[in-house]
Amino acid sequence: MLGFSAYVHSPMTDEIAHFAAGLGHWLYGDFELYNVNPPLARTIGTLPVYVAMPRDDDEISKLYSHVGSSRDEHGIIVSHRKEFSIGDRLMPQLGSSYFFWLMIARWSCIPFSCVGAWVCFAWASELYGQRAGFTALILWCTSPLVLAFGGALTPDVPSGAMGILALYRYWKWTRESSFGNAYLAGLTIGLAELTKSTWILLHPMLFFVTVTIWIMRSDRLSVAMQCVFQLTLAWIVLLAGYGFSDQFKPLGEFDFASPQLQIREYAESGELVSVVGNRFRDTWMGSIPVPLPTEFVRGIDTQESAMAAQTIVGFLFGELRLGGWWYYYLVVLMLKCTVGELGLFAIATLGNIGTFLFARRPQSVDSGSLNSAILPYRIRIETVLLLGPVVLYLVMLSYHTGLNRHARYMLQFLPLCFVWASQAVTFFPHRPWPRLGTIVLATCGALSSLFYFPHSLSYFNELVGGPSQGYRYLSGTNVDWGHNVFYLRDELKRRGWDSVGASLWTRYDLKLMGIQAEITKIPKWSSESLLEKPEDRGKVLLPGRYAVSVCIVQGTMGVPSGTKKGEPIDNGYTYFQEFKPVGHIGYSIWLYDLSEENLLASKSWGEIYRQHIELQQKQNKATD
């Protein structure tokens, strides 16, 4: 399924930049490219491209010499993102072969999904039995989010797969403390950090678990040595992923962009006046060498700066808002996960709460095994390792409301939820009907997801009416990511549309996708759209056929970057909500066939179109 998905879907918005960045890592060792995400997934994805793709090195080097960093009028760095401009120019240079090599890069990332599937099965089987193992495997392999992004050149599924692998190997070490298991734990923790920088937050959580274990053990020296070995190895793996280049840079030498790491001066009105610079530059802390790759640190800072800016338009239950809602991802979980996933997780959680509240206190603790209960005595290590990261990252996502657009961020912890939820099928051993109910839940959830494949990116569960109703609740990559242009090409050909107005969430010329129809620009509506001159008629929406991204119709894409909180949020295309689509492409692109009657009846365009007709009639009379 992932191989097929990689074949039929057009380039997603960020994939173009990941492709350019991964190729740049191999060609020039430039880890500034897409530094907001560590490089492991895209370097593995683009390895066969680097080895086998024919290319003109001179022309390629011209693309990668482009400087993309920029600052605003206050001196704040607003972009290190030159990978996007490079990617935009790399696609037309490679031509039609680009899509073949992107597919190869996507296929090269599928092994990450296989790792995630295996760990879900193995860990659930060891914890709760083989029936639970198969349930966790099914939850992973039929998850709409895994099916949507497991065949893409993005770090979302790799981060989930490598994260659960790291936690699984750490859990194995807690069961049998040895330097062999410590080696595997440290190695996989480092690999997880190379897929997503937020996995570095594993260290404080695992520190708490390790200290608890150390207190309970008699061989404390051995445990301490193994912990230091784990941490050191994870650090070395992280440095190796960046080619051991540019680490130990003094803290004061960074050009930070996030407000937390800058000294900023504000006027009494609260407006930003100026930026003095790095808050550590002239302090004793400024000379401290940072033991992490420079681009790893800069990437975290760039991401934090983007989230603090609160410029992304959030969309929830039909409401547009700059920034977002703290409970956004809790809602996303309820809408984007299958009913089976939600039901099994709820049963597993309620069952464990009941056990925690009413189970008898154990008579003794086995101090010879690291798999003993940790404080409080009835919470076990596996519970902390499975649910701890889930709570940690949900809190982080809820705090950073500037991220309110992407359900794919939940893939970092979703496999842990699958393992936890799988234990539900082992409940009710002597009650056949409740036990059968858990199996039915798992089956119905899997079938629901598979029914909508390969349009899994736009999946919504039955609680809200399925994908066809999802646009009422969420936007962004929860609905569209420019991935259905190939399907649009085929549908235009089937309908015989030789001309179409298009406004899609893409960064490339649609002609590169093989669309034969003439592509025209769709005019924006604004309060100043009334006709004043004959040449203004190009600003008028005319009868014709149109293809528009659902996100653009909702108003979340194309909003002017200077929009501030309290100002009206308008991208100029929400008027399409007045018209009824004649078709849809994979729940992410709406097709319209507008007549004169449609336009005259429109609240937005009715008066303007009447003026256009009158103006055209006057011109025709003058010509006669």
Tell me the mean pLDDT in the region 102-127: 97
The rounded distance, in Å, linking the Cα atoms of 25 and 42 is 9
Domain residue extents for the chain: 2-243+326-360+369-458, 247-309, 484-623
363-416 pLDDT, tens digit each: 433 434 444 444 443 458 889 999 999 999 999 888 887 777 789 999 999 999
Per-residue DSSP letters for 25-79? HHHH--TTTTTTS-SHHHHHHHHHHHHH----HHHHHHHHT----EE-TTS-EEE
- 70 pLDDT band, cuts 50/70/90, is very low
The residue type of 607 is: E
| 366 or 530, greater pLDDT | 530
Pick 10 or 308 by higher pLDDT.
Answer: 10
pLDDT for res 390 = 94
Highest mean pLDDT range out of 83-92, 159-168, 596-605?
Answer: 159-168
% of residues, the chain, pLDDT over 90 = 54
pLDDT one-digit tens code per residue, 588-622: 999 999 999 999 999 988 888 888 888 878 877 77
Angle in degrees, CA 391, 394, 337, rounded to 5: 105
Cis geometry, peptide bond prior to residue 376 (ω within 30 degrees of 0): yes
% of the chain surpassing 70 pLDDT: 89
Mean pLDDT across 493-515: 91
In the predicted structure, residue 535 carries a pLDDT above the cut 60: no
**Structure tokens belonging to residue 614:** 């009158």
If you average pLDDT over residues 494-517, what whole number do you get? 90
Q: Which residue would you say has higher pLDDT here, 208 or 257?
A: 208
CB atoms within 10 A of CB 513: 17
pTM for the model: 0.90
pLDDT tens per residue across span 313-324: 889 999 998 878
Beta bridge partners of 594: 544
Which pLDDT score, from 0 to 100, does residue 309 have? 62
How crowded is residue 248: how many other Cβ atoms within 10 Å of its Cβ?
12
- Banded model confidence at residue 78, pLDDT cuts 50, 70, 90: very low
Q: How many other CB atoms are there within 10 angstroms of residue 389's CB atom?
A: 24
Among the residues of 242-376, which ranges form H helices? 294-309, 328-336, 339-358
Asked whether the predicted pLDDT for residue 268 surpasses 90, the reply is: no
